[in-house]
Amino acid sequence: MEALSVPLYITILFLFLFTFFSISFLKRSRNENSKSQNSLKLPPGSMGLPWIGETLQLYSQDPNIFFSQKQRRYGEIFKTNILGCPCVMLASAAAARFVLVTNAHLFRPTYPKSKETMIGPAALFFHQGNYHSNLRKLVLNSLSLERLRTLVPSIEAAAISATDSWAAAGHVINTFREMKKYSFEVGIIAVFGKLENEYKEKLKQKYCILDKGYNCFPTRLPGTAYSKALSARKKLREILGEIIMERREKRVTERDFVGHLLNYRDENGESLSEDQIADNIIGVLFAAQDTTATVLTWILKYLHDNFKLFEAVKAEQMEIYRRNGEGKMPLSWGQIKDMPFTHRVVLESLRMASIISFTFREAVVDVEYKGYLIPKGWKVMPLFRNIHHNHEYFPDPHIFDPSRFEVAPRPNTFMPFGNGVHSCPGNELAKLEILILLHHLITKFRWEVEGSQSGVEYGPFPMPLQGLPSRFFKQTTTNR
């Protein structure tokens, strides 16, 4: 068990306290008044110290222990105060479904203002209602199974290029960082289809600066990571403006995400503004990178640590490799969809790692759940990790066991991509790029993890310590 590093949790603490401090106090005062007029009681739990709440307890230890201890003490629903916000936390499948599916209209997505500024306020995951549903349909259409089938050659080329570069480096690499590069490349493919190298390199350069400042304290002082990120965001917008203008002038009608955005018309015949298009492109690139890169890093660790697991995956992948003339032929869509054991390993990795441990919602009205009051303005947090590690849903939850996915999990118990109208629309793309990369990595390479092989860090997603430093080696035909 590893605690958060001091600089990281202090940064996160001040980031959110800075954002929510003033409005949180006003909301608490208002909610206390409304509470006295309501016969319903608040959920059990502790609100911690004034203003700070229980933030230090959460960020000074493994957050999973914090949530588990709360659940054992108070049950599936409990209150606390985190990051200056009164919160209700929900740790059951039924509660998650209540918030995310059946009563989603009563809870709005909520993010710190600094994050909206960084990505762009018009990005679909900051909204609900018609605007959100219409944009979500555009994403789903651009990432339909029919569309993904056409992306396989490009994603495979990205996977081959990435894995070859790791072995050619000849030194220890940070696995997570390299997986981020690969995921970003796939994101570019999904968003733009074919994109000129000049534009691609400009986007990578500015996005990297933006990414570094995303989780930093939001001060605009010159020289800070946040200030640099804001400047990079402005440059990104200019680059995207050039791409959008070029597409419009050439009247390009591609089926990629940009094409769907450019061709969109609402019920009044209105098109999206350039800012709306740019914000949603940046939003999709953000969503396509960190979570997929993190789970890929975990998969490599699980395979490295479990020899029998690795051999079982390798046997399945080598059979495909041999059918493809010892890797001389490209992967087909049918082969990717026929990797049952590898697919179960991916699903079990998503459950075990639970990259998205919880999600933030905010009650838009006073809500009753199981006899308890969730006051208007309070944050509501379905705890995905607690649900994924509940022995009632998954026996022996701390054991890595892909066989548990031979039968579909009970509804609302497995939510690695969220649930309901705000679930990740790119989940099939994520699984596709993971399976393609694993095929080439396992059939052509071996890897050794360097340094400490245990421990978890949070940045903000849980990941193997130091990004899983590893050394990669290309295998010859004889030793394969």
Q: Residues 345-349: what's their mean pLDDT?
A: 97
Instruction: Place 245 in a pLDDT band, splitting at 50, 70 and 90.
Output: very high
On whether residue 172 sits in a domain, the answer given is no
Q: Is 359 in contact with 384 (CB distance < 8 Å)?
A: yes
37, pLDDT greater than 60: no
Structure tokens at 311: 């051999």
Joined together, the tokens standing for residue 5 give 């590093």
Give CA separation, 344 vs 303, 349, 431, in Å. 13, 8, 11
- pLDDT at residue 252, rounded to an integer: 67
424 is in an annotated binding site: yes
Q: Does residue 72 have a pLDDT over 60?
A: yes
In this prediction, residues 370-394 reach a mean pLDDT of 94
pLDDT at residue 305 greater than cutoff 70: yes
| 85: CATH | 3.30.43.20
- pLDDT band of residue 64 (cuts 50, 70, 90) is confident
The helix/strand/coil state of 50 is coil
Cα separation, 45 vs 304, whole angstroms: 40
In terms of pLDDT, which residue wins out, 249 or 298? 298
Q: What number is the average pLDDT over the span 134-152?
A: 93
Tokens coding 322: 């041999």
pLDDT of residue 164: 96
- Domain annotation covers residue 214: no
- Under 8 Å between Cβ of 421 and 132: yes
Written as six digits, the tokens of 75 are 């049950």
Q: Kindly report, residue by residue over 154-165, the tens digit of the pLDDT.
A: 999 999 999 999
d(CA 127, CA 108): 8
**pLDDT for residue 403 is more than 60:** yes
What value does the mean pLDDT take over residues 138-148? 93
The answer to whether residue 372 is domain-embedded is yes
Q: Is residue 77 part of a domain?
A: yes
Of all residues in the chain, what percent carry a pLDDT higher than 90? Answer: 66
Give the count of domains, the chain. Answer: 1
Tally of CA atoms within 13 A in the half-sphere of 256 that contains its CB: 19
Nearest to 31 by CA among 93, 79, 92, 98: 79
Q: Please report which confidence band the pLDDT of residue 85 belongs to, taking 50, 70 and 90 as the band edges.
A: confident
Nearest to 349 by CA among 309, 395, 311, 382: 309
Section 358-375 average pLDDT: 93
Q: Which pLDDT does position 7 carry in this prediction? A: 45
Residue 264 is encoded by which pair of tokens? 């969109």
Helical H segments across 379-460, by residue range: 384-388, 427-444
* 278-295 mean pLDDT: 91
pLDDT digits (tens, 9 = 90+) for 192-239: 988 999 999 999 999 999 988 887 778 888 989 999 999 999 999 999
363 domain residue, yes or no: yes
Please indicate, yes or no, if residue 21 is contained in any of the structural domains. Answer: yes
Q: What is the percentage of the chain residues whose pLDDT exceeds 70?
A: 90
Residues 271, 168: Cα–Cα separation, whole Å? 47
The two tokens of residue 220 are 């605009």
Q: Are 89 and 78 in contact (CB under 8 A)?
A: yes
User: Is 70 exceeded by the pLDDT of residue 477?
Assistant: no
Lowest mean pLDDT among 119-128, 174-183, 326-335, 360-369: 119-128
Query: Smallest Cα–Cα separation from 289: which of 190, 385, 201?
Result: 190
301 close to 468: Cβ distance less than 8 angstroms: yes
Q: Is 352 helix (H, G, I), strand (E, B) or coil?
A: helix
Q: How confident is residue 312, by pLDDT bands cut at 50, 70 and 90?
A: very high
C-alpha–C-alpha distance, residues 282 and 261, integer Å: 13
Residue 247 near residue 262 (C-beta atoms within 8 A): yes
The answer to the question of residue 165 being in a domain is no
Q: For the chain, what is the mean pLDDT? A: 87
| Residue at 17 is within a domain | yes
State which residues form the domain around 79.
Answer: 1-119+355-388
Sequence-ordered list of residues with C-beta below 8 angstroms from that of 344, at least 6 positions apart, any chain: 402, 403, 405, 406
What local confidence, expressed as pLDDT, does residue 5 receive?
38
Report how far residue 184's alpha carbon sits from residue 176's, in angstroms, rounded to the nearest whole number: 12
Q: Work out the pLDDT band at 408, boundaries 50, 70, 90.
A: very high
Q: Is the pLDDT of residue 410 over 90?
A: yes
